[in-house]
Amino acid sequence: MRHRALSLIICSAASASAAAAGAIHKPVTAKRGRAVYAERCADCHGRNFEGVEEAPALTGARFETKWRGQTVKLYDKIRRSMPQDDPGSLSAAEASDVTALILNANRMQLPAAAHLQAETARPINPTG
């Protein structure tokens, strides 16, 4: 009985902790990323990620070869150097959302609990 009560207390504490974390750490979604992308990225990278002039395509074999397994580096590049005409102007949340959108467009998946960076404190959900 004592063991059962202890298990119940531990489970209850874990559930409360997870609920509190969920309230604070809302998932990043590709849907939010679409609005940011349309406003801040599409002029250079194309409405459908195809790339325009010197800006590279954000989908396809070349993109996948370069960025598969490099999600944090992709996020960091977006966060620090994009958009090219105003580098570093995207918030951490906007950069996370755009990263999720691009990953979704490439059918790249992340573990549900993946975090891009401690400052975002939000897991990525690329399917949004």
Tens digit of each residue's pLDDT (9 = 90 or more) over 48-60: 999 999 999 999 9
pLDDT tens digits, 63-77:
999 999 898 899 999
Contact present, 99 and 120 (Cβ < 8 Å): no
Match 């949340």 to its residue by tokens. Answer: 93
Q: For position 101, what pLDDT does the model report?
A: 92
The third-level CATH classification (topology) of the domain covering 27-125 is Cytochrome Bc1 Complex; Chain D, domain 2 (1.10.760)
C-alpha 11/C-alpha 61 separation (Å) is 45
Contact present, 86 and 39 (Cβ < 8 Å): no
Coil, helix or strand for 124?
Answer: strand
Q: Tell whether the model's pLDDT for residue 83 goes beyond 90.
A: yes
Q: For position 111, what pLDDT does the model report?
A: 42
Tokens of residue 48, six digits: 């459908």
Mean pLDDT over residues 4-19, rounded? Answer: 38
The model's pTM: 0.68
